[in-house]
Structure formats: structure tokens, C-alpha cells
Amino acid sequence: MKNSNSNSNSNSNSSTSTSRTEPIGQNLIKLISNLCFSLFVFSVLIFTVIAITYQPPDPWLQSSPALTNLFTQSQNATFQIDSSVIQTGEDISISPQDSPLPLPPSAVAAATTPAVTEALIEKNEEQIITNSTSPGPSSSSCDDLIGTLNCSDPRVLIAIQRFNLRAFKSISFFEYQTPVNGSVSGECDVAWRFRNKREKSWRKYRDFRRFGIAVTDDCHYKVVHAGGWHSGTNARRNPALRTRTGGGKGKTLPRISSRDDEINDTIPSLGSESDFRNGKYLYYSRGGDYCKGMNHYLWSFLCGLGEAMYLNRTFVMDLSVCLASIYNPSNKDEEGKDFRYYFDFEHLKEVASIVEEGEFLRDWKKWDKTHLKKKKVPVRKVVTHKITPMQLQKDKSTVIWRQFDSPEPENYWYRVCEGQAAKYIQRPWHALWKSKRLMNIVTEISGRMDWDFDAVHVVRGEKAQNKELWPHLDSDTSPDALLEKLKGMVQPWRNLYVATNEPYYNYFDKLRSNFKVHLLEDYKELWGNASEWYNETSVLNNGKPVEFDGYMRVEVDTEVFYRGKNRVETFYNLTKDCKDGVNTC
């Protein structure tokens, strides 16, 4: 009996132990699986939140909080000085064909204009052969063709088009004109529009060159030599004729001009009283951003324009810009600069609803009658940036007037776009392009080097003198060090464009022993008192000459650098110093 009880107890204990062990194992497996599933659900939740709240970055490499911290530092709350310019809309925009947004007329025209490609040339050549009523020239008549060269023969244009495609691989060609006779027999001048493939805007530029034409053994035309940039003077755009009278007879002389008459940066008018009263406007009065660095100005300006777009209002724009002292030889702030000197006002008008401040204020005063039959124009004054764009969305006033009268940094325009507003206001970078007049200078410089050049960006100036933040920059950008480093990066006797803030022109003379060196100052006639740029900017400035200031120089220098085939940067290539100083790499 005792053994029986003992066995019974043993069996029961074993059974109890087994029953206790099995649930623990199962529970552990369940616990692990539940934990894994919870982690999966949590990861999906985090990913979803990020996807919903993510804001596409502005075309700077810094976040909005970082820029805000930079602005609100001491040192007058401006950007640190750098020898480059901010990227604008044409640097980051997509092509007209790929744009999901409604396009302005200029973009539509650009999108429907095909580039001249080898396939298009072949098609045109087949069409010429099909339409020809007589056979092509025979071998016996080839020798006579050059003496009776007809530049308007479509086969001449085809030969030139083929030559250009081989010679200028970085260029897209559009809208060739019919060739005309050059200066001597056997030469033809032809004009065309083009765009550098590195440029993402839909703007086009103009070139006209002289070509020597010969006949091949199989009786086809070929280009035997080509002139340089703008050498085909007989193919200039619609050369205006002026009449000089003398001796009772009139004599016409061609006026030599390559003026870009497609630029339309006239100020739009508001129209009638009903047009004014039916409109909705957002007006920013001048704040602490005035006379700050250009990058600060753009950051604030695009905040205001972005709010106007969010509120579906017309932005009242002050075309008068105060250029900060860092860009001026006088080392003083200079007021009265025109926005159109630096940026493309025509493009801005096409993609955003804007009105010029002077025009707006004149009409406001004109239509804001005080007698009983007329009501004042409804105005909502906003005295603090803490009133958000979201709070103004349903406001029915004709004018929302933001006033920035607080002390710095509370009176900066960009403060409107901080905090919660940053989730709603998108800065319209696509609306801001660099001035076409300045880009014409960029194109001229690049064209004179036949679009076949390398470029080096040499930062010196104040950074090279500050040994605490940049201990090696001065020695690493010395003439001897530059020559040795560039020997390993640039092929001998290449065109080498040097974009730099080094003021001493002869500083780079040692590079001339190995390269064909080009500096911005080599092209100063492009903004001299006989240039188209000088004449056109003087018209914007009521007939007074405009200085080619420091920001214009940096803008042109940087854009030419971007068009180099091989580009060498100061930081990362020439020196191990960090771009923003010690320990910031």
C-alpha cells in the first residue's frame, strides 16, 4: 500500500510538473510573438507619422530651425558671409515637360519647341531629298559649288547643325534661323537659340556664328572652320536700321546690337477702382530684414510670398532693395537697388500674383475715398508675427497689412513662417530665378570659352585671414599649392576659369604656366559703359548708371563655375579645413 501510494504521489507530482512546465513555454512563445508584433505595429505607426508630417526641404542644406538659430545669433542676425550665392528656382526646378503644375506661356513655348537632334536632322534631310525636283550635285559640278555657295540652301544648315552637335555636347540647340552670307565667299552666318544642359530653367539664349563651308567628294556640304562666340555678325537678331542724312540722300547703317529684347520686366498696373476693390492683397511693411545679407533677404521675401499664395492673395512687393555692406566696395549699406538687377522679375510675374508697392499705394490712396458715397478700402492691420497665416485665412478684408515695428529680431519677415506656420507655408523657390541680364553675361563668358572649360572655386578673403577657424586655408590656396594640386586635377593647357573672392588680379599668374586662366575681371567690358547690360540697367535706374556690385560679381562667378566640365572646390578638394570652420566637417 505504501509503495502504491508512493507511486501514486510520484505520478501526480510528475503530472503536476509537466502541466506547469508546458504553459510557461507556451506563454513565453506568445509573449515573444506579441512583443514582435507590437514592435512591428509601432514601427509602422512611426513611419506613417513621419510620412504625414514630412516637409520637403528648402534648397539649402540647413534645416529651418538651424537657419532660425543662425538668424537670431548676435552679429546682426545675418548669414555668415560666403563666396557663393544661394541656389534659386532655375537650379532646382524640373523641366517644363515634367512639371505637374500649370506652366506660364514662356514654359509652354519652351516645352513645345523641340531641340535639334541627330534624329531631327535626319528627318529634315530626308524631307529635302523627297521635295527635291532635281538630283543632287554630281562629282563634276562639285568644284563649282563653292564659288556659287547659296547659304540659304537647307543642306548648308544641316551641315552646320551636325557640326554643332559634335562640337558642343553640353548644349541643347533650338530654333535655327536661315543662314545668310558671311563676309567673304564660302562663309555663312547663322543664328540659333540654345540652352546649356546644366541649366534646368526653360529660358533660352542666343548665339550667332560664322562658318566656312566646303563641299565633300561625294558632293555634300561640310563645315571646314567655325568662328567663335557671336562671330556671325550678319545673322544678328533683326538688325535695326537707322538713317543718316547728308547731301540730300538718305543712308542706312546697321546698328550693332545683341540686346535681349525678350526681357519684359515692366511693372504691372492694377487697373480700375473695381479691379482694386475686388482684389485681395497681402502687404508687408518694411522690417528688420532691410539691409541684411542677400540670403537673409530672400529667406524673408519668400516667406511673405509663400503666405500670400497660401491666403490666395496678391503680394505687394517693394522692388527697392538695400544691398548690405558686405557686397559693396564702400563697405556701407546701399539703398535704392532694384530687385530686377539681381532676379528675374518677368518670371516672378508669370508664376506669382504680385503688384509693385508704389503702384499699389498710389491706387490705394486714390480709391480710398472719405466722402459718404464711397467706403474706405477694408484693411486688417496685423501688428505681430504671432498672428498666424492660418488665423487670417478666412479674413475678408481687401488688404491684410502686416506691420513689423517691434525691435529685432521680432521684426523679421521670416518669423511669420516659423512654428506651426512652417507646416502650411511653402516658400515658392520655383518663383525666384536669377536675372536674365546677369545670366546673359554668364552665357557670354561660357560661350567665349566655347563651353569647353574647367573651373576652380578659390575661397580666400576673410576666411584665409582667420587662422583660428581655417588654419590651413591660406597656405592651401597659395599660388604654389594651387598649381601643384591643380596639376593632378586639370589637364594641361585647358581653359581654367577661376571663381574667387581674391581681390588681387595677378594672384593666379603662376597657374598661367600650365593653364589658360580666365578670371571674371577679364570680361569687364560685358558690364562696362558700352555694354548692353549697362544700357539696360540704366533704363531701370531712370537713366543713371548702375554699379556692377559685389553680389552681381559673386552671382556671375558662381554660375560660370557651375558650367565647368570639371569643377574643383576649395573645401574637400584644395584644403582639409572645414567649410564652416574648425570641427564643422
Exposed (0-12), middle (13-18) or buried (19+): which is 561, by Cβ within 10 Å?
buried
Burial 436-446 (b: 16+ CB within 10 A, else e): bbbbbbbbbbb
- Tens digit of each residue's pLDDT (9 = 90 or more) over 316-361: 999 999 999 988 888 899 999 999 999 999 999 999 999 999 999 9
Alpha carbon distance 419, 532 (integer Å) = 46
Q: Phi and psi at residue 401, in whole multiples of 5°?
A: -115, 105
How far, in whole angstroms, is CA 21 from its chain's centroid?
72
Q: What is the pTM of this model?
A: 0.79
Q: What angle do CA 72, 76, 78 make, to 5 degrees?
A: 70
327 in Cβ contact with 72 (< 8 Å): no
Alpha carbon distance 227, 313 (integer Å) = 51
Please report the pLDDT score of residue 373 as a whole number. Answer: 56
Torsion of CA 239, 242, 246, 247, to 10 degrees: 70
Please report the pLDDT score of residue 313 as a whole number. Answer: 97
Per-residue pLDDT of the chain (585 residues; tens, 9 = 90+): 444 444 545 454 444 444 444 567 677 777 777 878 788 787 777 777 665 554 444 444 344 444 444 444 433 332 334 445 777 877 776 555 555 556 676 666 666 678 888 888 888 878 877 776 544 444 445 655 556 788 999 999 999 999 999 999 999 999 999 999 999 888 999 999 999 988 888 889 999 999 999 888 778 899 999 999 999 999 986 544 333 333 333 443 334 444 566 788 888 888 787 788 889 999 999 999 999 999 999 999 999 999 999 999 999 999 999 999 988 888 899 999 999 999 999 999 999 999 999 999 998 888 876 554 567 889 999 999 999 999 999 999 999 999 999 999 999 999 999 999 999 999 999 999 999 999 999 999 999 999 999 999 999 988 999 999 999 999 999 999 999 999 999 999 999 999 999 999 999 999 999 999 999 999 999 999 999 999 999 999 999 999 999 999 999 999 999 999 999 999 989 999 998 898 888
Please list the residues that pair with 192 across neighbouring strands: 207
Exposed (0-12), middle (13-18) or buried (19+): which is 413, by Cβ within 10 Å?
buried
Please list the residues that pair with 281 across neighbouring strands: 314, 399
Measure Cα distances from 409 to 71, 77, 515 in Å: 8, 8, 48
Contacts of 260 (CB under 8 A, 6+ apart): 206, 436, 437, 440, 532
Please report the pLDDT score of residue 551 as a whole number. Answer: 94
Q: What is the DSSP string of 303-355?
A: HHHHHHHHTT-EEEE--EEEEPGGG-TTSS-EEEEEHHHHB-HHHHHHHS-EE
- The DSSP 8-state label assigned to residue 192 in this structure reads E
Structural domain boundaries in the chain: 64-92+269-431, 109-238, 436-568
Which candidate, 187, 194, 266, 199, places its Cα nearest to that of 232? 187
Exposure of 147 in the CB half-sphere (CA atoms within 13 A): 4
Percent of the chain with pLDDT over 70: 78
Please report the pLDDT score of residue 122 as a whole number. Answer: 83
Alpha carbon distance 321, 84 (integer Å) = 19
H-helix or E-strand containing 185?
A: none
Name the grid cell of 349: 510675374
Q: Is 404 helix (H, G, I), strand (E, B) or coil?
A: coil
566 in Cβ contact with 488 (< 8 Å): no
Name the grid cell of 149: 555657295
79 in Cβ contact with 297 (< 8 Å): no
